[in-house]
Amino acid sequence: MKSPSAPAVIGPGAAAVIAGLVTVPQAAGLEDIVACAIYASALRLPIDQLLGPTILGQAVRLHPAMIIFSFLSGGFLFGAVGAILAVPVTLLIKVMPTIFYDE
């Protein structure tokens, strides 16, 4: 069983691997490669966890905490497809009562 935060780790992990691989030809040693990988993942984490949900929340008029919760629950329940469809399904759940009850 995978952890609920697995989708949140994929972006920074991929950034660290790519940065480490790009650094290999110019690196003087292993310390340079590790430092660049740590730097890339440290840059990526605030963007994925703070800036992204805030901007997406403003665009779709949902609270950023709801965006994060929908990503985590969609990814935990249905994997990558659930994480991709999490915000549209959340918006559907938000909008359907207003359509049915005409409020």
Tens of pLDDT, residue by residue over 34-45, are: 888 888 888 887
Enumerate residues 6+ apart whose C-beta is below 8 A from 14. Answer: none
Q: Does a structural domain hold residue 1?
A: no
Torsion angle of alpha carbons 58, 89, 68, 5, nearest 10°? -160
39 within some domain: yes
* Torsion angle of the four alpha carbons 12, 72, 55, 88, in this order, in degrees rounded to the nearest 10: 130
The arithmetic mean of pLDDT across residues 49-64, rounded, is 85
| Max Cα distance, the chain (Å) | 66
- CA-CA distances (angstroms) from residue 30 to 22, 34, 74? 13, 6, 37
Q: pLDDT (tens digit, 9 = 90+) per residue, 61-84? A: 889 889 889 988 998 999 889 988
On whether residue 63 sits in a domain, the answer given is yes
pLDDT at residue 33, rounded to an integer: 86
Mean pLDDT over all residues of the chain?
83
Structural domain harbouring 34? 6-101
Q: Which two tokens stand for residue 88?
A: 């549209």
**Running DSSP on this structure, what letter comes out for residue 60?**
H
* Residue 18 covered by a domain: yes
The token pair at 73 is 């629950």
Count of structural domains, the chain:
1
